[in-house]
Amino acid sequence: MAELELDGLTKVFVEDDGNEIVAVDDIDVTVADGEFLVLVGPSGCGKSTTLRMIAGLESITAGELRLGGRRINERKPAERNTAMVFQSYALYPHMTVKQNMSFGLEESTDMPAAEIAETVIEAAEMMGIGDLLDRKPGELSGGQQQRVALGRAIVRDPEVFLMDEPLSNLDAKLRSKMRTELQRLQDDLGVTTIYVTHDQTEAMTMGDRIAVLDDGMLQQVGTPLECYHEPANRFVADFIGEPSMNFFEVEVQGDRLLADDFAYPLSNETLSTVGDRTELTLGIRPEDIELRTEATGPHDFETVVDVVEPTGDENNLYLTFDPDASEPDTFIATTGGMNRIEAGQPLVAHVPEDAIHLFDPDTGRAVKNRSLDDAETLGRAV
Amino acid sequence: MTDTKLADDGLSLNRIGLYAVLLGLVVFYLLPLEAGIVTSFKSIRAYGQTAPFLPAVDGFTLAQWSSAVDQLSGSLFNSVLMAVPATVFSALFGSMAAYGLTNIDWRGQVGIYVLFVAGIFVPYQAVLVPLKRFWSQWVPLHIWLEPVWYLTGLGTDYAGLLALTITHIAYGIPICTLLFRSYYKSVSDEMVEAARLDGASIRRIYRRIILPLSIPMFAVTLIYQFTQIWNDLLFALIIVGPGDASVITQSLIGIGQSESVTNFPLQMAAAFVTALPTLLVYIFFGEQFAKGVTA
């Protein structure tokens, strides 16, 4: 087992006309032995390219890749001791499940046939596909193919698992089931894993740590709760969490933040972190907004419900300050699913000061994150 | 009630029209074939006395067929000797070239591929003279491989047959490459990458993944190439020439001509004997062919 280090990893693609495109820009991450790291970001952010560089499918333009302290930049894919699970599963359609799983051992080791057969059967039993060994991929359901793809990776007994959105072709129900199963499997095997996804739910639920990428650059590496409660910048704050954080462009005037439709008074403590900035972005998570019937404090704002989206356990409320506009600007607040709330109803939104985030509008960097008295304890528990 | 009756009438009228047209087309396409078959079983005398498409009751004979088989057996063997390896190797090389140009990434492959495509459009007529010169002056196989011809007892004529085989292989590679390339483009990149990660070399990936998946496409190219090569006359005339090594299309030209009257029944029988192998190939590979075409 080994630790995987990405040291200034960079990938530049040169187009036919000489244009250079930086797909991955100077990424530093160290994945501890046995850790489950999730690489998350929107499509085109370079997360798959990063994974492919680790696998050896893509050359490394600059930087160093180390496995167990040894540089593996120049090693061939098969010699890196990694196994990859692809989004499309990439099973060999003309081979049976058994042949699919044996292929890697046959091609890359001198293992005798009997031992290969034994290893394959063992891995297949572990994945619960022992009775499918003589079938071909075309005769299997999506979930079963997924298990075969995982089994094929496990058989190799690699030092690192690389997974490229392996669950995105499954239906929602199966996906959440496989999510749990994958986590348990990784835990049992204790193999260092890098898991690429664009789905922030997968990132939050599966990873020991999350690495958030945007535009080829690493935005933040941290535990899921760190990324959630202490986002390094506006991008991370926006990307992690569902529904997304609400953002308001505000101006600092005296001890208040002035937005288009409201003024938000700040405590001296917060003011000192703001410093001499005049423009800020105020962020507040939908679940941190408390709904009241009457405005009593300075952090209470009178709004009107524009749209209600019930999800069962929760209601997503789109609130607005000017209900008369034809397409009003809205922000989201969530409330318990048992509360009966209807569109057009007036509501008071309480925005607690210890839950607000402030960002620099130019760099996007976090100026102030929410107070972490409670969040910190959560973070430790992970 | 009357309404539906009218509608029924309209429908059946349409049907009648449709069937009439279909029947007409069937007759149009099958009549020449039928006439050919019927004629091949007639004696020369009977041929003169009956309509081409009607069977001759008195003059029925198998003599034309046995005569055709007799006269063609030698060149039939030559054609098989030439067409089978030419077909198999042009398909195989085409498949390898397409794999190298499609599933493996390297600089300048588009330029090379363009050359392959250009090869498809070189007409036979344009290369006749260079080809003849190539095989007689630059690569004189009849001299180079002299011991082979004497040891096998085939005679130097067969140098021409070997030259023809190689020519057909070379000429077939571009079109086979094109056909295989369109097929290999649909092969998932991730699957090839998975094989690379599994430790398979480029050659092993071809052998264990790509080749087994190409079987339907091989059926397509084998049928196409076999028909092309088997039916070719022009190259055979130029490269092989008359002699022991002549192929079946060459022998077919001369058959039934030597007598005072043209022996049409014999020519018909000979034509069918010549066409039979291509027909058999269609029958044997038909199912795979359908898969390859719809893939």
Same domain, B13 and B149: no
Flag if A91 and B191 touch (Cβ within 8 Å). Answer: yes
Chain B residues with CB under 8 Å of A94 CB are: 209, 212-213
Asked if residues B221 and B141 have their Cβ atoms less than 8 Å apart, the reply is no
What is the distance between the alpha carbons of residues B135 and A212, in angstroms, rounded to a whole number?
Answer: 66
Same domain, B42 and B77: no
Chain A residues with CB under 8 Å of B191 CB are: 88, 90-92
Contacts of residue B98, Cβ cutoff 8 Å, sequence gap at least 6 = B176, B177, B178, B179, B180, B181, B183, B184
Residue B31 lies in a domain: yes
Same domain, B127 and B233: yes
CATH number where B262 lies: 1.10.3720.10
Residue B57 lies in a domain: no
Residue B62 lies in a domain: no
Chain B residues with CB under 8 Å of A120 CB are: none
Residue B105, SS3 per DSSP? coil
Same domain, B10 and B100: no
Closest-CA residue of A relative to B203 is A107
* pLDDT tens-digit readout, A302-355: 999 999 999 888 889 999 988 888 888 899 999 887 888 888 889 999 999 989
Same domain, B133 and B229: yes
What is the distance between the alpha carbons of residues B94 and B99, in angstroms, rounded to a whole number?
Answer: 9
Distance, in angstroms, between A119 CA and closest chain B CA?
A: 15
Distance, in angstroms, between A91 CA and closest chain B CA?
A: 6
Range A84-99 average pLDDT: 93
Same domain, B114 and B212: yes
Mark out chain A residues that contact chain B at CB-CB < 8 A. Answer: 55-57, 77-78, 82-84, 86-88, 90-94, 103-104, 107-109, 152, 156
Choose, out of B197, B201, B211, B288, the residue to mutate when testing the contact with A (most A CBs < 10 Å): B197
Choose, out of A103, A146, A150, A155, the residue to mutate when testing the contact with B (most B CBs < 10 Å): A103
Query: Which tokens is A277 given?
Result: 């900035």
Domains and CATH numbers, chain A: 4-238 (3.40.50.300), 245-381 (2.40.50.140)
Residue B61 lies in a domain: no
- The beta-carbon neighbor of A77 closest among B197, B208, B209 is B197
Chain B residues with CB under 8 Å of A55 CB are: 193, 197
Chain B residues with CB under 8 Å of A87 CB are: 190
- CA angle, corner B225, sides to B223 and B230, nearest 5? 95
Other C-beta atoms lying within 10 Å of the C-beta of residue A74: 10
Which domain covers residue B97, as residue numbers?
69-294
User: What ipTM is given for this predicted complex?
Assistant: 0.82
- In order along its 295 residues, chain B shows pLDDT tens digits of 444 455 555 668 889 999 999 999 999 999 999 999 999 998 888 888 888 888 877 778 888 899 999 999 999 999 999 999 999 999 999 999 999 999 888 888 889 999 999 999 999 889 999 999 999 888 888 888 888 888 887 778 888 999 999 999 999 999 999 999 999 999 999 999 999 999 899 999 999 999 999 998 999 999 999 999 999 999 999 998 888 889 999 999 888 876 577 888 899 999 999 999 999 998 888 887 787 777 6
Same domain, B131 and B179: yes
Flag if B193 and A90 touch (Cβ within 8 Å). Answer: yes
Same domain, B34 and B121: no
pLDDT for B272 equals 93
Chain B residues with CB under 8 Å of A86 CB are: 190, 193-194
Chain B residues with CB under 8 Å of A160 CB are: none
Residue B58 lies in a domain: no
Residue B121, SS3 per DSSP? coil
Same domain, B41 and B186: no
Residue B54 lies in a domain: no
Closest-CA residue of B relative to A54 is B197
Q: Please check the confidence at residue A379 and state whether its pLDDT lies above 70.
A: no
- The beta-carbon neighbor of A92 closest among B196, B204, B209 is B209
* pLDDT tens-digit readout, A47-88: 999 999 999 999 999 999 999 889 999 998 888 889 999 999
Same domain, B196 and B261: yes
Same domain, B123 and B166: yes
Same domain, B43 and B113: no
Residue B59 lies in a domain: no
Of A72, A64, A58, A28, the C-alpha closest to A160 is A72
Count of domains for chain B: 2
- The beta-carbon neighbor of A108 closest among B191, B199, B212 is B199
